[in-house]
Amino acid sequence: MTQSARVVAQAKINLLLRILAREASGYHSLETVFLRLDLGDDVRVRITAGRSLDCAGPAVPAEGLGPIERNLAFRAAGAYANAVGWPSGFAIEINKRIPVGGGLGGGSADAGAVLRVLDAMSPTPLGQDLPALAAELGSDVPFLTAEHGMALAWSRGERMLALPALEARPTVLAIPPISIWTSEAYGWLAQDRGGYTPAPRAYTLADFASWERAVAAARNDFQPVVARHRPQVAELVDEIAAAGAELSMLSGSGSTVFGIFREAPDAAQITRSIGCTTLVTSTSTRVVSVELDE
């Protein structure tokens, strides 16, 4: 049995993010379109006697990532071990490049990568049952565990329809010096809406069959309410659009704003004009495969 394997945990953006009714459990149903980016964290898992997690890299904040027991990648490995009865021990190593807490699914991507790596090494792999386990960890994790470059998802993210990935486009990520907790964004949304009955609009594969249609259908329910509480977000959306982006939108619940361009933009000029950290990457047409170590 292979004792270690690795994979790139790719970030994601949401071309569509509708927050629907709140369930009795407290969770909100979603309707969303996920799209992977080339940007990703390097994740390696080794089978060991104990259990450990080591995170380093340029995206790790100065204050660290908090207690290991709360880390989503560590929890994913524990959940897999409980479900399968293997492994008893593991060592997870993550080189972080995805900004933390920016709405790009970095923690979820790491969790999905750990699940994929463990299943590739497992003596009793879960296979098609892996997304169901992923759904217990968060609404982004099923997609980031699956082998889809792009997908339309509902409920808590566990119901997915794979979509043909759109052609790769240069993507600018603007990362303001503010953090927005997901729970905070949901709280603002609840205050804004009061009693809420979602519109019956349902999206289909045809709405995202081309970039032109995707841009027309793009929507993020968090964006207007987050922008009212954090005006920097609205400014970034406008500035990236002014730089020539086809689509400029808040990523997830924020605080990162992404811009999709037809041609590679002048990243240095954008950075100077918006006055905050930027990363240049690309939307992705593929899912990086797990590599088993010799």
Which residues are identified as catalytic? 12, 140
Residue type, 32: T
Pairwise CA distance, residues 77 & 79, whole Å: 5
H helix or E strand, kind and range, residue 20: strand 4-22
Ordered DSSP codes for 89-155: -EEEEEE--SPTTSSS-HHHHHHHHHHHHHHHH-SS--GGGHHHHHHTT-SSHHHHHSS-SEEEEEE
Angle at 255 between CA 208 and CA 200, to 5 degrees: 40
Q: Residue 257: what residue type?
A: V
Q: What is the Cα Rg of the chain in Å?
A: 19
Nearest Cα residue to 153 out of 164, 145, 138, 143? 143
Would you state the torsion angle of the CA atoms of residues 38, 41, 46, 48, taken in this order, to the nearest 10 degrees? -160
Helical axes 182-193 vs 222-229, angle rounded to 10°: 100
Please tell me the distance from the alpha carbon of residue 266 to that of residue 47, in angstroms, as a whole number: 44
* Residue reference for tokens 């977000």: 233
Transcribe 168-184 into DSSP letters.
P-EEEEEE-S----HHH
